[in-house]
Amino acid sequence: MLKLMNPFLENIRECQKTDKRLMEKLVLINEGKETNIKVDENGVMRFHGRVCVPDVSELKKMIMEEGHRSGLSIHPG
């Protein structure tokens, strides 16, 4: 089956593997003890459908910068 993945999510997935807290959650997921976090079909950990951002400062900075540049982040009033 063909899986489409953008480079940004690939980077997040790889960084998730280095985040101690997320790896502890992954152990709980595999033991059936964690229900709020799921691993999607691309191997990305998500909390209620939202991507779990690993504790990598460069990655967090990139997300914040993109959010500020995006026209979708503007509050209408």
- Domain span at 40: 7-67
Q: Is residue 22 part of a domain?
A: yes
Q: Of 53, 48, 39, whose CA–CA distance to 11 is shortest?
A: 53
Q: Is residue 77 part of a domain?
A: no
Give the pLDDT of residue 4.
66
Total-model pTM: 0.79
Per-residue pLDDT of the chain (77 residues; tens, 9 = 90+): 566 678 999 999 999 999 999 999 999 999 999 889 999 999 999 999 999 999 999 999 988 888 777 766 556 65
Identify the burial level of 64 via C-beta atoms within 10 angstroms of its C-beta, where 0-12 means exposed, 13-18 middle and 19 or more buried: exposed
Identify the burial level of 77 via C-beta atoms within 10 angstroms of its C-beta, where 0-12 means exposed, 13-18 middle and 19 or more buried: exposed
Q: Is residue 76 part of a domain?
A: no
11 close to 48: Cβ distance less than 8 angstroms: no
Q: Is residue 48 part of a domain?
A: yes
Give the pLDDT of residue 77.
57
Q: Is residue 12 part of a domain?
A: yes
- For the chain, what is the domain count? 1
Give the pLDDT of residue 65.
87
Give the pLDDT of residue 70.
72
